[in-house]
Structures are given as C-alpha cells and as structure tokens.
Amino acid sequence: APAAAAPAVVAAAPAPVITGTLVKVNVSLPEAAQRAAATGADGVGLLRIEHLILGLNKTPGWYIENGKEEEFIAELYGGIKTVLDAFPGKPVWVRTLDAPTDEFRNMEGGHDEPIEHNPMLGWRGIRRDLQSPDQFRLQIEAFKRLWAAGYENLGVMFPMVNHPREFVQARNMMQEWGVDVETATLGVMIEIPSSAILVEDFIKAGIRFASFGTNDLIQYTLAIDRNNENVADMYEPEHPAVLKLIAYAIKACRKHGIECSICGQAGSDPKMVTWLVGQGISSVSANIDAIPRIREAVARKERQILLDAARRNA
Ligand code: PEP
Ligand code: MG
C-alpha cells in the first residue's frame, strides 16, 4: 500500500492577542501615588497636575514674572516623577494644566488672572496654554526632562480641546521646544461635545489616545453646571445624548485602533463601566477607592461577553 501522505504542515495560526479592558487609576496628588499603585491598577489614566500647581499658592504667571521658572519646572518634575516611579513600566497619562481662572485669583500673582463670568467656559485647559506659550512651555519642559530621564511610560493628555487644530498646534509647539513628537504619547480628553463629534478628525490629526472627561462632557452636553445644586438632579451621566456621544466616539476609536478610555467620575461607577465595556472601551480609569469594584464589574461583563460568544458559536 502506498505510504500515507505525510500530513501537510500547517503553520500554527498566531494566537490572537486578546487584551482585556485595562483598569487604571486617577491620581490628583503625588502623595497618593503609593496608595494608587497598591491597588494593582494597570497605570494612571489621569494625573491632574493642577492640584500640584494650586498647592504652590502662586500662579504660573508669578513664577515667570519673578524669574523663577526653574523652581516651577522642578516642582512639576518632582511631583510627576513620584507618580511615574510608583508605576514602573505602566502608562501614566499626565494632563496639562486645567484650572479655571477663579481658582488662581487668591494666589500670589492672581491679580493678573482675567475676571470671567463663566470660568468653566473660559480661559482654561488647552485654551490657556495655547494663548500663553510661556506657561505651556514650563510644563512641556518638565515632561521633556522626564522623557530624557528615561520615563517612557509618561503620556501627555490635553484637556478641553474642542477642535483638532488645537491638538496640532500644541504638538507643533512641543516639537518647536525639542520634543520628539513622533514617539511621544500624546492624547486628548473628550469632554466637550465637539471633540466627541470630531473624534475621527482628532485621530487623523495623530492622537494616540482619547479619554472621556465625563464630568465636563455631561455638563456641556446637557448645559447643567456641574457645581450648581439647583440643577444637580438634572446632571444625568446616563442621559441618552451623553451615551450616544460616548458610544459614537468609542466606535471610532476602535475602528482606528486608538486606545479609548474614561477618567471622569462615571469611570468609578460599576453600572456605567459595565455599559462601557459592552461598547468596547479599551480602558477605564477610576478613583483609588473604586478600583476593586470597578475591576469586579469589568471582569463580570467580560465573562458575560465571552460566554455569550462561546454559546453562540457552540
Ligand atoms: C472630567 O471633566 O471628567 C475630568 C476628568 O476633568 P475634571 O474633573 O478635572 O474637569
Ligand atoms: Mg474636565
């Protein structure tokens, strides 16, 4: 009998890379870095530097006016480094300054801050930085030195963007100041409806990640002041318009392979997180105390998704 044909050699298909939904943590003060890292979180989805800066009790403008730029850079460098050191090899997204002008008013240098009727709609976030490059540059200098010191896990996130040109302008300024913008991890907060609607244009402009700032996204989508108790019961994270914007942006990010995350308070709510995992969000970032219950909610929803798929295919 003829020898049985040797079985065809079939190259093993590469195992599909399945990355579960990452659970990251929000950090506001470097003092909390160790406690945040002890949760075992997959990184920091939001490091708010304004608390670090507001704690200095002097405005960024004061440092510049008094020739103390190096002091300001050193404060930022040290504070951020503490957090990076607590999360070796894990991504840490540092957000550029996002404090409304009224929070600077009573500090040294505060008399130079503009007086605004609606500070939350005013000169804050990326708007302030693009219009005051001298203040923006001090922050970028701190990041640059951290990257130069080998902290490749540092990512930079721009708050309050409402048009892709703001991202492009910020990145161009960083390049001008010597940042290798091809390798730097730069992303944006999605916290104004315009940026959710234009998410694909942001992706085309080169963002590496996007993160929902739901505290503001809810406020600006529903026209509900997040700090006004008269309308607090209308501040509705699960309002269909908010969910529709978020679902739309997640879908766009998935289509283009861009990491999509959330760092607003809704990311600490198990119900909301369950829904977000169902939409295919890549990571969520929660408050330190919420990490265990968020991890549980993520695992539960992922298990359900896998079981549903397996049973459908059985
Ligand atoms: C947000 O808007 O959801 C957010 C995380 O930023 P902040 O609360 O600092 O405005
Ligand atoms: Mg915000």
Give the model confidence (pLDDT) of 34-46 as tens digits. Answer: 999 999 999 999 9
Q: pLDDT digits over 161-196, tens only?
A: 999 999 999 999 999 999 999 999 999 999 999 999
Q: What pTM was computed for the model?
A: 0.93
Q: How far is the CA of 314 from the centre of ligand 1 (A)?
A: 44
Residue 140 has pLDDT above 70, yes or no: yes
Atom of ligand 1 nearest to the CA of 50: 9
ipTM over 0.90: yes
Q: Name which of 126, 241, 255, 277 is nearest 200 in CA terms.
A: 255
Give me the count of residues in the chain: 314
Q: Could you give the strand order of the β-sheet that contains 92-95, starting from the edge strand earlier in sequence?
A: 259-262, 209-212, 185-190, 154-158, 92-95, 44-48, 22-27, 283-286
Q: Is the pLDDT of residue 125 over 70?
A: yes
50 in ligand 1 pocket by Cβ < 6 Å? no
Q: Is the CB of 264 under 6 A from ligand 1?
A: yes
Residues around ion ligand 2, judged by CB within 5 A, are 191, 213, 216
**Number of the ligand 1 atom closest to the C-alpha atom of 263:** 5
Q: Does residue 249 surpass a pLDDT of 80?
A: yes
- From 49, 160, 215, mutation site for ligand 1 pocket: most ligand atoms within 8 A of C-beta: 215
Any atom of ligand 1 within 6 Å of the Cβ of 216: yes
pLDDT score at 218: 98
